[in-house]
Chains A and B, each alone.
Chain A
């Protein structure tokens, strides 16, 4: 891996683009990539319940900065436009986005990344909060991802009462179909997922002989990467990001790191 030096050239482009969503619909996405011909690995970022917000656009650029073709599709596109938190409120009131819709949108974004001339042919999926849950879902129901990162995704384990037409199957029940290595980052003080639910998921991964790494951080709750929220935990967040880079480097052959 090439370490950053102060005399190195560095550049990226990041912009809003229209891409194909599920069922040939069009949705908007935020796409960032390093300048240059690559080859670069790709990553699809699935935004969290608070919406397609600044943190996700920023994190998309962070991945581009680290040498990825990074795309964050707006999985709330069908709910219209407005301030991210207002659109998120509309989605919340509607009971969320159906799992099938998310899987369809993310599958198309993966296809977009792999169609680019700069791709190295590999791609990962990354999600936090509800996006972490959806990253697992997509990694189980879609072929083509080479690595998946779930950051504190709740409701991977679901009770029978939680299943609805929008969420007909608990992600844990797809574990046998998981198609790529999985990294999970969690906080001990989180209530969704609880450490017990994470342990239950881990048992299922072991049962089916899946490749995974789970890290449970003490003194951290939900969303400990979010520096603008009270749940931010600096030490755990720095270590967590390092684990994300190492994991993707291992499975996506990240060519260089700034």
Chain B
């Protein structure tokens, strides 16, 4: 907390830690001294689950340029994914899986194919 720079966001998704998968509730993004990265300053991203306790944390420390590159990759991925007009899967593909993946303007929904 030498800089005190932290941005918190509520998020939903899952993360995998040493004890397996857990639900993510919060993303905490700081600009501060890293624990491990070989840099004076880093963008520190903690994906957290308050309910699961302090050990349930996905942590990364990125050099500032790497953080920018990651942001760019996320935005590019979102842009490409959301630009496509996703339709319900064909019957042939749904035969191979019990779940059917349907997209609604960038929000994936898993629905029961049956």
Contacts and interface: CB of A to CB of B under 8 A. Distances in A.
Interface of A: 49-50, 79-83, 85-93, 95-96, 129-130, 133, 153-155, 162, 167, 189, 191-192, 221-223, 230-231
A95 B33 contact: no
B4 A129 contact: no
B3 A82 contact: no
Nearest to A85: B35
A86 B33 contact: no
A167 B4 contact: yes
A61 B47 CA distance: 34
Interface of B: 1-4, 6, 8, 26, 28, 30, 32-33, 35, 38-41, 44, 46, 48, 53-55, 57, 59
A162 B35 CA distance: 23
A154 B59 contact: no
A89 B2 contact: no
B2 A129 contact: yes
Given A80-B53, A191-B40, A191-B41, A90 B3 contact: no
A230 B38 contact: yes
A132 B51 CA distance: 32
Contact of A130 (B2, B38, B39): B2
Contacts of B32: 49, 92
A95 B40 CA distance: 20
A195 to B, nearest CB: 15
Contact of A49 (B8, B33, B39, B46): B33
A155 B4 CA distance: 8
B4 A95 contact: yes
Contacts of A192: 2-3
Contact of B54 (A90, A154, A189, A222): A90
A198 to B, nearest CB: 14
B48 A93 contact: yes
Most buried by A among B2, B8, B54: B2
A86 B55 contact: yes
23 contacts: A49-B33, A50-B33, A50-B35, A82-B53, A82-B55, A83-B54, A86-B55, A88-B35, A89-B44, A89-B48, A89-B54, A91-B1, A92-B1, A92-B28, A92-B46, A93-B6, A96-B1, A130-B2, A133-B2, A155-B2, A155-B4, A167-B4, A231-B40
A162 B46 contact: no
A191 B33 CA distance: 10
Contacts of A82: 53-55
A95 B32 CA distance: 12
Contacts of A95: 4, 6
Nearest to B56: A86
A222 B3 contact: no
B40 A87 contact: no
A130 B1 CA distance: 6
Q: Please provide the 8 A-B residue pairs with the shortest distance between their CB atoms, ordered closest to farther.
A: A82-B54, A93-B28, A154-B2, A86-B54, A49-B1, A96-B1, A89-B46, A130-B1
A167 to B, nearest CB: 7
A246 to B, nearest CB: 26
